[in-house]
Amino acid sequence: MLRLPGAARRVRRVAMLSVHTSPLHQPGTGDAGGMNVYIVELARQLAAQGTEVEIFTRATTGALEPTVELVPGVLVRHIDAGPYEGLSKEELPAQLCAFTHGVMQVWAGHRPGYYDLVHSHYWLSGHVGWLAAQRWGVPLVHAMHTMAKVKNAALAEGDTPEPAARVIGETQIVRAADRLIANTAEEAGELMHHYEAPAERTAVVHPGVNLDRFRPSGARSAARARLGLPPDAFIPLFAGRIQPLKAPDVLLRAAALLVDEDPSLRGRMIVPVVGGPSGSGLAKPEGLQKLAARLGIADLVHFRPPVGQEQLADWYRAASVLVMPSYSESFGLVAAEAQACGTPVVAAAVGGLPVVVRDGTSGFLVEGHEPAGYALALRRFLDDPALTDRLGDAAAAHAQNFGWGAAAEATAEVYAAASQERRRRLRSPHG
């Protein structure tokens, strides 16, 4: 990770761009997910540490105020760009010009030098950020969150590849950005390998977890009582957006294998799926329910809509284990949140998940996406009921490494480095 030597001038005010998903949206709904949580928590902590943040996002309903104060020092600005509803993420590139115009209108109402830096999230925002940063004469810091080339290299069966336009767009942003922020060293390596990102402009900053909200809280049975779940059931949980990329079907198939091996599980296992259809999963919103019926476990699988973070923490605490069989994860915020609540994780050994989950200590990593591999890992918890608490205690301790305060401090260092380098270039006679 890039470290800034000595005391550097702190960036005063950041224009943060999140075109396709609002920090005010409920995570787990539509395109709202870990990135929403990331932006909200990072902005809160940056503000607490002395950097004001203004988040520009697309207005998705006329009922929203043009500006909303999230917390002191964090302002959300709603930009009109296209119809409020009915636009998919794939249709948003056509609205980038309108969104950029709205951002520029806000900027025109301020004194020169009002924003010190632009921080864009996801490739759509990166294109707006590229233009804004050039026009304002400030650095551009960009976070990919996911990358088309990486996703296309690990597609789930039946999933839709990312379009060539996104690959081209991401390549342009990598060239334009003053700094790129990657969630893990592996993601930094992918940026360098797939997009020829310069190592000296690529920084690693681990995302964080709100450790005040996501924490162990009493006995697991207490959380189960609050959610109306039986106290002694085996409960492998899926939480997140329902789409092929996240592979909730792998958990269902693994659960069916466990029931086939041990029919008595039918009376003592519940598989909650907490989240809503998203992305390519919107094409078949009932697909997972139909799969549960075909597998003969419809009575065991409990579908629940996305919930607020307080209740989500209770779902984590109530679970015997969180299961995260994703095909691609830049970090794996859900896994970090679950561990912070004292719940072990069974996850795919992809992306940032090997950083978030300590294999054999806070959970188990599974190579590949064969349901039998996940069934084998879940069987370990069934054979040793005390394993949930043993690994859960270690998981809660491990999660303490992922506080948002540290993430914000590291991000502020990246901002300062980008600003310092820009000032140095401006002073240089060679530009």
pLDDT in tens, 2-52: 444 434 578 999 999 999 888 887 554 455 567 888 999 999 999 999 999
pLDDT at 359: 98
In the 8-state DSSP scheme, what is residue 90? G
For tokens 């309108």, the residue is: 98
CA 331 to chain centre: 7
Instruction: Evaluate whether residue 198 is within a structural domain.
Output: yes
400 is in an annotated binding site: no
Whether residues 245 and 383 share a domain: the answer is: yes
Whether residues 291 and 352 share a domain: the answer is: yes
User: Lowest mean pLDDT: which of 18-32, 296-310, 411-425?
Assistant: 18-32
Whether residues 164 and 237 share a domain: the answer is: no
Residues 154, 95, 37, 321, Cα dihedral to 10°? -30
Handedness of CA 298, 308, 16, 329 (dihedral sign): negative
pLDDT at 2: 46
Whether residues 236 and 383 share a domain: the answer is: yes
261 is in an annotated binding site: no
Instruction: Evaluate whether residue 301 is within a structural domain.
Output: yes
Q: What band does 278 get if pLDDT is binned at 50, 70 and 90? A: low
33 is in an annotated binding site: yes
Handedness of CA 166, 167, 172, 175 (dihedral sign): positive
Task: Compute the distance between CA of residue 209 and CA of residue 63 in angstroms, rounded to an integer.
Answer: 31
Instruction: Evaluate whether residue 144 is within a structural domain.
Output: yes
pLDDT at 113: 93
Instruction: Evaluate whether residue 4 is within a structural domain.
Output: no
- Residues sharing a CB contact under 8 Å with residue 382, sequence separation 6 or more, in sequence order: 234, 258, 262, 265
Whether residues 125 and 194 share a domain: the answer is: yes
Q: Is the pLDDT of residue 218 over 90?
A: no
Residue of 190, 137, 173, 145 whose CA lies nearest to 15? 137
pTM reported for the whole predicted model: 0.84
Task: Compute the distance between CA of residue 271 and CA of residue 302 in angstroms, rounded to an integer.
Answer: 6
149 is in an annotated binding site: no
- Residues sharing a CB contact under 8 Å with residue 106, sequence separation 6 or more, in sequence order: 56, 77, 79
Percentage of the chain with pLDDT > 70?
A: 94
The full DSSP string for 292-338 is: HHHHT-TTTEEEE----HHHHHHHHHH-SEEEE--S--SS-HHHHHH
388 is in an annotated binding site: no
Q: Is the pLDDT of residue 326 over 70?
A: yes
Instruction: Evaluate whether residue 427 is within a structural domain.
Output: no
Residue of 157, 64, 45, 23 whose CA lies nearest to 408? 45
294 is in an annotated binding site: no
166 is in an annotated binding site: yes
172 is in an annotated binding site: no
Instruction: Evaluate whether residue 1 is within a structural domain.
Output: no
pLDDT at 279: 57
Integer CA distances (angstroms), 190 to 140, 316, 321, in order: 20, 31, 30
Q: What band does 426 get if pLDDT is binned at 50, 70 and 90? A: confident
Helix extents (H) in 177-302: 185-195, 220-227, 248-261, 287-295
- Residues sharing a CB contact under 8 Å with residue 31, sequence separation 6 or more, in sequence order: 20, 21, 89, 278, 279
374 is in an annotated binding site: no
pLDDT mean across residues, the chain: 91
429 is in an annotated binding site: no
CATH of the domain at 129: 3.40.50.2000
Whether residues 57 and 116 share a domain: the answer is: yes
pLDDT at 349: 96
Whether residues 201 and 78 share a domain: the answer is: yes
- Residues sharing a CB contact under 8 Å with residue 156, sequence separation 6 or more, in sequence order: 244, 245, 247, 327, 369
pLDDT at 3: 45
Task: Compute the distance between CA of residue 289 and CA of residue 301 in angstroms, rounded to an integer.
Answer: 8
Whether residues 308 and 354 share a domain: the answer is: yes
pLDDT tens digits, 223-266: 999 999 999 999 999 999 898 989 999 999 999 999 999 999 99
CA 417 to chain centre: 25
31 is in an annotated binding site: yes
Average pLDDT rounded to a whole number, residues 89-96: 90
pLDDT at 203: 97
254 is in an annotated binding site: no
20 is in an annotated binding site: yes
Q: How many domains would you assign to the chain? A: 2
195 is in an annotated binding site: no
406 is in an annotated binding site: no
User: Lowest mean pLDDT: which of 25-34, 209-218, 219-228, 383-392?
Assistant: 25-34
54 is in an annotated binding site: no
Task: Give the residue, 279 or 93, on which the prediction is more confident.
Answer: 93
**Residue 374 parent element (H or E):** helix 371-383
Instruction: Evaluate whether residue 425 is within a structural domain.
Output: no
User: Is-contact 90 283, C-beta < 8 A?
Assistant: no
Whether residues 145 and 93 share a domain: the answer is: yes
276 is in an annotated binding site: no
Residues spanned by the domain of 284? 220-400
pLDDT tens digits, 99-152: 999 999 999 999 999 999 999 999 999 999 999 999 999 999 999 998 999 989
Whether residues 118 and 228 share a domain: the answer is: no
Instruction: Evaluate whether residue 5 is within a structural domain.
Output: no
Whether residues 199 and 87 share a domain: the answer is: yes
317 is in an annotated binding site: yes
Whether residues 159 and 257 share a domain: the answer is: no
